[in-house]
Amino acid sequence: MEIPPYPASRPLALTDKPLLDRLCADIQPRVSELTFAGLYLFRRAHDYQLSMTADSIIVLGRGYDGSVYFLPPLGGDVATALKVTFADGQTLYGADDQFAARYLNGNTVQITELRDSCDYLYLREELATLPGSRFHKKKNRISYFTARHDYTVTLFSKEHTEGCLNLLDKWFQASRNGSDTSLNTEMEAASEGLRHAEALGLEGVVITVSKAVAAFALGERLNRETAVCHFEKADPFIEGVSQLVNREFARLLFQECRYLNREQDLGSMGLRNAKLSYHPVELVKKYLVT
């Protein structure tokens, strides 16, 4: 595969998966954006392009507000790649504490923490078992659901695709409003993720009620110790099923992982409160750097 030298660029493609998988595995990322599926499924929403400088792969993107940025360089001479890209006037998005400590100390840069973009990191075992009084309400809602419904829990396979897409449409119709661009892109990305889960290396769980999909979750490995849940959708009219699919994803998948990254809240107070209610052990900070 050929990557044009910076500043030329080309769109991210499915054929880039082996290269980006290898580069991400080398750096063991902590931020949820740095997986191939995470990039590929949102490639249209963020106009992701690949470029190269100093033998580093540069992922160029665009925010929901139209602002342009680049993600932390992958492979090659990262320090030189940063200097070249900053000199071109580009803004870095997605630097975490480790990246900042290694590459940004001593540089004349402005660093801004992005609270709305921080990833929520949990102990996988806690989400799988919901121990103690802290999770009492979660367990009660699961008990409410299991006492009232004939349900099954299975691992996601291509046979579930149509049912999950039907649920996704139901969720979208109940959630959407005309001005929420991120909701539309989430719908598009989740739909493509379901259709191409095997090719993208995504794994998931599915909850069915009376043979209809009532909830699903899809994710992948982020680093040696951490899995990331990219999508979790539940029937908004079935109480307790969202808590159940959250638990079952953590219980059945990625059992060798210590942590589960459940991505950011994008500034939604409802989503923030929901994520905090599961007691994260860390908010993985992300920075904007100019």
DSSP β-ladder status, 226-234 and 259-261: parallel
The set of long-range contacts for 196-199, using a CB threshold of 8 Å and a minimum separation of 24, is: 197/156, 197/158, 197/161, 198/158, 199/14
Q: What is the mean pLDDT of residues 11-31?
A: 96
Q: What is the mean pLDDT of residues 74-89?
A: 93
> By percentage, how much of the chain surpasses pLDDT 90?
88
Q: What's the confidence (pLDDT) of residue 32?
A: 97
Q: What's the confidence (pLDDT) of residue 65?
A: 85
Q: What is the mean pLDDT of residues 66-77?
A: 95
What is the rounded CA–CA span in Å between residue 34 and residue 165? Answer: 25
Contacts of 244 (CB under 8 A, 6+ apart): 142, 145, 146, 151, 153, 207, 215
What is the rounded CA–CA span in Å between residue 224 and residue 28? Answer: 7
CA distances from 179 to 13, 175, 232 (A): 29, 12, 22
Q: What is the mean pLDDT of residues 220-242?
A: 97
Whether 144 and 240 have beta carbons less than 8 Å apart is answered as: yes
Q: What is the assigned CATH class of domain 120-263? A: alpha beta
Whether 63 and 47 have beta carbons less than 8 Å apart is answered as: no
Using DSSP's 3-state secondary structure scheme, residue 123 falls into: strand
How do residues 151-165 score in pLDDT, each as one tens digit? 999 999 999 999 999
Q: What's the confidence (pLDDT) of residue 64?
A: 85
At the topology level, CATH places domain 10-117 in Aminopeptidase (3.40.630)
Place of tokens 């709305």: 116
Best CA proximity match to 71, nearest among 87, 82, 83:
82
Best CA proximity match to 290, nearest among 97, 102, 95, 101:
95
- Asked if 10-117 and 120-263 have one fold, the answer is yes
Q: What's the confidence (pLDDT) of residue 3?
A: 58
Q: Identify the weakest region by mean pLDDT among 92-96, 150-154, 182-186.
A: 182-186
pTM of the predicted protein model = 0.94
> Residue ranges of the domains in the chain?
10-117, 120-263
Q: Can you read off the two tokens belonging to residue 84?
A: 């070249």
pLDDT band at 183 (very low <50, low <70, confident <90, very high): confident
pLDDT at 12 over 90: yes
Alpha helices per DSSP H over 53-160: 78-87, 97-103, 124-129, 136-148
Q: What is the mean pLDDT of residues 228-247?
A: 97
pLDDT at 2 over 90: no
Q: Identify the weakest region by mean pLDDT among 69-78, 103-112, 148-157.
A: 103-112
Spatial strand order in the sheet of 203-209: 151-155, 203-209, 212-223, 226-234, 259-261, 119-123, 282-284
What is the rounded CA–CA span in Å between residue 139 and residue 210? Answer: 22
What is the rounded CA–CA span in Å between residue 91 and residue 86? Answer: 7
pLDDT band at 180 (very low <50, low <70, confident <90, very high): low
Average per-residue pLDDT for the chain: 94
